[in-house]
C-alpha cells in the first residue's frame, strides 16, 4: 500500500507562525524568539524560527536560531576591523554597537531554499539533507503557505516504518 | 561588560543525554529517538540527539535527526530517476527495511570530527557551530568529553551579548 503524503499535510500553516520585521535590531529579534520559544518545567517548546516581513508586509525570509549565530560572526568582524585603527573611531558608533545588526543581515532569504506544497515528503527530506536546514518554507507557487521542519518529517517517517 | 561565559558554562552535561550502542540498527535508532519526543500541538519538545557508545561504554559519536534521515537510504533514492514521487511511501519503507543492516556506527558523526574546548568563549562557540555546519559540538576538558554544546544553549545566553 502506498500512502500519499504531501508536504502540506505536515507543515505548520503560515498563519500560526510568529513574525518579525526585517529592520528590527538583533536584540529585539532575540526577545521575540524567546517569547515564542521558551523553557517551561525543564523542557523547551515553541517555534525555533520567525518569519521575516519587509516594510510592505511581504514575507522575505526566515530567522532561525542558526541565523542568530551569524550575529556573533558579524560582531567579531566589526570588532576586528575597528581594533587598533584610529580612523575606525569615526565609525565606531554605527558599527560597534550591536544594536545596528538587524534581522535582515542575518536572516535566511526566503527564495534561497523552499519546497512546493504539493511535493512529496521524500522531496522535502532530500532538500533538508542537501541544504542542511531544519526549517523549510512551503510555497504555493510564489506564495508562502507554511513551514515544514525536520522534526515533522522525522515523525512521519517513523510512523511509516512502525505501521 | 558581561563576564565571559565559556562552552562549559552553557553546555549540557554528557550524563544528561540518551545513549545508544554503536551496533544498534538505523531502525532501532529512529525508534529510540522517537521515544524522547513529545508533541504539544504543533510544537515539538524533547531531546533531538543521542550519543553513541562502543562496546566498552566509551562515547564515540553523536547521532542527530538530520543524520538519521539522510542515512536511511535517501541518497540512493535521490539518484533513482525512475522513482515516482507518488510511490515514495512504499518504496521508502521497503528500502529502509532492506537496509536494516546499517548500524549506528556507520551513520553517526564521530566525536572527534568537530569539537570545542571547555574554556572556549561563547562567541567562538557560535562561530564554530557555523563553520562546521552543525547544531551540536562535543566539549572537551583536557582529553575528557564533558558535555555537548548546542545552538540552543548559545541562544539561551545570547541576550547577554546583544543589548
What is the tens place of the pLDDT at every residue in B64-113? 887 777 765 554 444 444 444 445 555 555 565 555 567 888 888 898 88
Question: What 3-state DSSP class applies to A20?
Answer: strand
Among A33, A73, A103, A129, which would you mutate to test the B interface (most chain B Cβ atoms within 10 Å of its Cβ)? A129
At A24, is the pLDDT very low, low, confident or very high (cuts 50, 70, 90)? very high
**pLDDT band (50, 70, 90) for residue A45:** low
Inspect the interface and report whether the beta carbons of B123 and A72 lie closer than 8 Å.
yes
Buried b / exposed e across B44-67, counting CB within 10 Å, b at 16+?
Answer: bbbebbbbbbeeeeebbbbbbbbb
Q: Are B157 and B122 in contact (CB under 8 A)?
A: yes
Nearest CB partner across the interface for A122, out of B45, B48, B88? B88
CATH of the structural domain A7-162, one choice from 3.40.50.300, 3.30.930.10, 3.40.30.10, 3.10.580.10 = 3.10.580.10
Q: What is the dihedral of CA B26, B29, B35, B38, to 10 degrees?
A: -80
Nearest by CB to residue A12, choosing from B42, B86, B97, is B42
Weakest-pLDDT range from A97-106, A148-157, B32-41:
B32-41
Query: Which pLDDT does position A147 carry in this prediction?
Result: 92
Which domains does chain B show, CATH number per domain? 7-160 (3.10.580.10)
CB contact under 8 A, A70 and B130: yes
Which cell numbers in the block locate residue A115?
Answer: 519546497
Predicted local confidence at residue A2, as pLDDT? 39
38-57 in chain B: CB under 8 A from chain A:
38-40, 42-46, 48
Whether residues A33 and B65 touch (CB distance < 8 A) is answered with no
pLDDT of residue A96: 46
**CA nearest to B33, candidates B135, B108, B140:** B108
> Cα separation of A28 and A5, whole Å?
38
pLDDT for residue B162 is more than 70: yes
In this prediction, residue A1 has a pLDDT band, given cuts at 50, 70 and 90, of very low
- Tell me the per-residue pLDDT of A31-44, one tens digit each, with 9 for 90 and over: 888 887 766 655 55
Residue B64, pLDDT score: 83
Domain map (residue ranges) of chain A: 7-162
What is the tens place of the pLDDT at every residue in B102-145? 788 888 889 888 999 999 999 999 999 999 988 889 999 998 88
Residues of A in contact with B43 (CB under 8 A): 45-47
Please state the pTM of the whole predicted model: 0.75
Amino acid at each position: 500500500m502506498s500512502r500519499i503524503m504531501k508536504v502540506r499535510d505536515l507543515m505548520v500553516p503560515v498563519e500560526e507562525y510568529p513574525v518579525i520585521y526585517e529592520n528590527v535590531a538583533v536584540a529585539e529579534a532575540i526577545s521575540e524568539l524567546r517569547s515564542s520559544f521558551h523553557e517551561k518545567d525543564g523542557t523547551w517548546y515553541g517555534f525555533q524560527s520567525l518569519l521575516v516581513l519587509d516594510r510592505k508586509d511581504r514575507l522575505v525570509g526566515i530567522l532561525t536560531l542558526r541565523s542568530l549565530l551569524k550575529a556573533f560572526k558579524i560582531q567579531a568582524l566589526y570588532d576586528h576591523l575597528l581594533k587598533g585603527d584610529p580612523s575606525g573611531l569615526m565609525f565606531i558608533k554605527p558599527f560597534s554597537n550591536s544594536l545596528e545588526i538587524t534581522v535582515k543581515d542575518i536572516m535566511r532569504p526566503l527564495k534561497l531554499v523552499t519546497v512546493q506544497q504539493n511535493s512529496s515528503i521524500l522531496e522535502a527530506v532530500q532538500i533538508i539533507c542537501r541544504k542542511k536546514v531544519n526549517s523549510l518554507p512551503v510555497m504555493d507557487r510564489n506564495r508562502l503557505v507554511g513551514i515544514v521542519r525536520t522534526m515533522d518529517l522525522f515523525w512521519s517517517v517513523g510512523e511509516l516504518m512502525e505501521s | 561588560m558581561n563576564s565571559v561565559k565559556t562552552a562549559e558554562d552553557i553546555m549540557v552535561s554528557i550524563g544528561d543525554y540518551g545513549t545508544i550502542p554503536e551496533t544498534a540498527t538505523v531502525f532501532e535508532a529512529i525508534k529510540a529517538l522517537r521515544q524522547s519526543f513529545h508533541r504539544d500541538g504543533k510544537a515539538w519538545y524533547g531531546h533531538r540527539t543521542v550519543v553513541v557508545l562502543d562496546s566498552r561504554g566509551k562515547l564515540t559519536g553523536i547521532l542527530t535527526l538530520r543524520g538519521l534521515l539522510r542515512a536511511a537510504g535517501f541518497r540512493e533514492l535521490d539518484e533513482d530517476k525512475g522513482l515516482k514521487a507518488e510511490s515514495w511511501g512504499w518504496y521508502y519503507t521497503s528500502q529502509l527495511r532492506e537496509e536494516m543492516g546499517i548500524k549506528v556506527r556507520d551513520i553517526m558523526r564521530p566525536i572527534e570530527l568537530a569539537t570545542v574546548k571547555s574554556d572556549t568563549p561563547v562567541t567562538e562557540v557560535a562561530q564554530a557551530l557555523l563553520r562546521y555546519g552543525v547544531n551540536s559540538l562535543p566539549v572537551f576538558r583536557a582529553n575528557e568529553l564533558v558535555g555537548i554544546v548546542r545552538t540552543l544553549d548559545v541562544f539561551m545566553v545570547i541576550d547577554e551579548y546583544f543589548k
